[in-house]
Structure 1
């Protein structure tokens, strides 16, 4: 696989930042901070879903958008640009897949798990639901509870595997 270009003025390869967490955990807030701090391309799936498909269940469209965004992210990494992947990545297999893809491109990987108690998640989601024009799909208490059961919380051994040697 093609090695990424070094970013101008640095000897380090680019980094893929991976956001992991449930709705309301602060993924996009952190992703925006990382975007600025690391001069990164931020790929937030939710920024694309609503404008492209409107309200409703997204089904296969979600996978299509993820694939398109990853193609952009992979290209950016090969050009030496840092990338922030703001998807949530609830399943361990997804996290491992994106991590392996980035490593295969010669990029470093920095996984950020935002571990927030359910009560705080719900408080944040309610506040987001109440903001007019927030652009987010409203989430009910039942949906958030269901998402919590679907989320595969990272284990200690998984998190230990995230550490990339400098």
Structure 2
């Protein structure tokens, strides 16, 4: 059996030679908002993979390598970064500083107002419907009786 070439030999730590260790990526179902420096409005993208150092997104139309962006994911707002690659409708974004994955996965808290009570023109108090009593006469009382004739 021949010895593998150096390019395919795996080190004891599991890394290939001449490759820097990458942060662990997790597959996620998140939505990101990406702003470009060109002044356009933000675009929405599905996040496929997320790590502390970057993310892979769908719908990369209009993005190109080395473009500076600001991304908002979950509770993270305006994280700066760079587009590293664009291929097959996907784009790889690298963040300038590491992010908090828990914050990126958390939902954004949206302040909501308490619903206002329904307004009616009638000033009388609203009547609440009480449950109707079961029928006691006629054929309706036997409607759900399995032994009826």
TM-score normalised by L of structure 2: 0.21
Instruction: Determine which structure has the larger helix proportion and give its number.
Output: 1
Q: Larger radius of gyration, structure 1 or 2?
A: 2
Instruction: Determine which structure has the larger strand proportion and give its number.
Output: 2
Structure number with the bigger relative contact order (C-alpha 8 A, sep ≥ 6) is 1
TM-score normalised by L of structure 1: 0.20
